[in-house]
Amino acid sequence: MRLLILGGSLFLGRALAAAVLARGERLTLFNRGRTNPDLFPQVEHLRGDRTVDLSALDGRRWDVVIDTCGFLPEVVRRSAEALAGAVEQYVFISTLAAYADVTPLNVDESAPLAAVADPGRPEQTAETYGARKALCEQAAERAMPGRVLVVRPGLIVGPHDTTDVFAYWPMRVADGGEVLAAGRPGRRMQMIDVRDLAEWILRMAAGSRPGIYNATGPAEPHNMGDLLAAARQVSGSDVRFTWVTDEFLLGQQVQPWTEMPLWVPDTPEQAETRGLLMVDARKALADGLTFRPLADTMRATLDWARARPADYAWRTGPGRAREGALLAAWHSAQRWHD
């Protein structure tokens, strides 16, 4: 199988490229060469900015193209049209944010999609991200009807995820001591190891499977208690977890997700985030999506995170001073109530 990846230098694209090479397939990467340009020296690299120039793709053929970096419908349209005669299948990496409403929980692929006021000129904002992705899906399908695989992942975790929302936990747990654990240990959530997602996408591509799939898991969702237990298991830490309530943390102005990674309090304001972590992925499961043990993901993420520079500035997490202050305030409040 000959594969072309649009992108291929960051997180999922990087995992896809590694999985292609592990399968012994032929790979070409097309990107601007600005991020991790020295990755995968053994493969063919085509340079170009897809927003303005696709000429590097002219006169070539591949079996499958995987679009990991399509965010603007017009750009995806031009890419798909340019490749319609050069590939058999177009794989578009979308997002669960493409749905109009995930607050009911367990939405499946038939749910309505997000929309923008002017589909011809969707404004590039965080609020329109999901709607733009939905328009990208539609643009690819119009260019290559019946030959598009749309993958809608949720929370992707694992090595090389620089958002730090997952990596914070194995690193913090490995440091030991008392760790602030937010909310309820039984709060459920979905996530997928980037390597599992990449391998499934390639299996689908090898079978020329079109269609739309929610791609997250596992079959039985994790919860925060599972996650922290796995972090303690792989790190061998003497960590002590102190579970602190949503109400207390909100009263202390702690920001969900960013300041306290993976924390999604049970409030109406967080209903959409909860929904993105609880969708119906049975279609992908039926078509072979599988998941490695959580401990495997934790161990690989910890090993990668430990290899980063000692002065790396974490993008998420409260920081040790803030965490210590919150724990002290929590214990003080508990003594007062006692």
Q: Where in the chain is the domain with CATH 3.90.25?
A: 168-190+220-277+293-329
What is the reported pLDDT for 123? 85
With beta carbons less than 8 A apart as the criterion, state whether 70 and 12 touch. Answer: no
What is the reported pLDDT for 109? 98
Mean pLDDT over 111-133 rounds to 91
What is the reported pLDDT for 335? 78
- Answer yes or no: is pLDDT of 67 > 70: yes
Alpha helices (H) in the chain, listed in sequence order? 11-22, 73-83, 129-143, 168-175, 194-206, 224-235, 246-251, 271-276, 282-286, 294-306, 320-337
Q: Degrees (nearest 5) of the Cα angle 52, 55, 58?
A: 145
Please give the CATH number for the structural domain made up of 168-190+220-277+293-329: 3.90.25
What is the reported pLDDT for 33? 93
- Answer yes or no: is pLDDT of 338 > 80: no
Q: What percentage of the chain carries pLDDT values higher than 90?
A: 94
- Answer yes or no: is pLDDT of 300 > 70: yes
What is the reported pLDDT for 110? 98
- Answer yes or no: is pLDDT of 150 > 70: yes
What is the reported pLDDT for 118? 84
- pLDDT single digits (tens) 324-336: 999 999 999 987 7
Query: Does residue 188 sit in helix, strand or coil?
Result: strand
Which residue has 């990449």 as its token pair? 198
**Mean pLDDT, the chain, whole residue set:** 96
Band (pLDDT 50/70/90 cuts) for residue 141 is very high
- pLDDT single digits (tens) 175-199: 999 999 999 999 999 999 999 999 9
Question: Domain 2-153, CATH 3.40.50.720 — does that match?
Answer: yes
Q: Where in the chain is the domain with CATH 3.40.50.720?
A: 2-153
- Answer yes or no: is pLDDT of 337 > 70: no
Interatomic CA distance for residues 113 and 125, integer angstroms: 17
pTM: 0.96
Mean pLDDT over 289-300 rounds to 97
**Going by DSSP bridges, is the β-strand pair 188-189/222-223 parallel, antiparallel, or unpaired?**
antiparallel
DSSP 291-321: ---HHHHHHHHHHHHHTS-TT---SSS--HH
- Distances in Å between the alpha carbon of 126 and those of 25, 123, 133? 36, 9, 11
